[in-house]
Amino acid sequence: MDRLTNRLKELRARHDLTQEQLGWAVGVTRQTILAIERGDYSPSVHLALRIARRLETSLEEVFWLEPGSDRLGEER
């Protein structure tokens, strides 16, 4: 299955934002930003768009799908 990947940490650092500041700006907790950066939590489309807008970039610049194994267990 495709895995949602991101470069949120890099873009956040480029904007000189802490996790707490970004979280506050997009209406989530610091823990949620941390979980997204680690790839442990997949944000809703709504939140992903808010993050991209705050980082002044497009959604695809922040999040993308990393090809993974399909349902039959084959690597693409």
* Sequence letter at residue 21: Q
Binding track over 44-63 against another protein, x by CB under 8 A: x--x----------------
Considering only residues 16-45, where is the footprint of another protein by CB under 8 A? 23-24, 27-32, 35, 40-41, 43-44
The token pair at 69 is: 């194994």
Give CA–CA dist 67/56, Å, rounded.
26
Please give the helix or strand (H or E) that residue 65 lies within, else none.
Answer: strand 63-66
Answer yes or no whether residue 68 interacts with another protein by CB under 8 A.
Answer: no
Give CA–CA dist 73/1, Å, rounded.
9
Which of residues 39 and 67 has its CB atom nearest to another protein in the complex? 39
Which of residues 31 and 58 has its CB atom nearest to another protein in the complex? 31
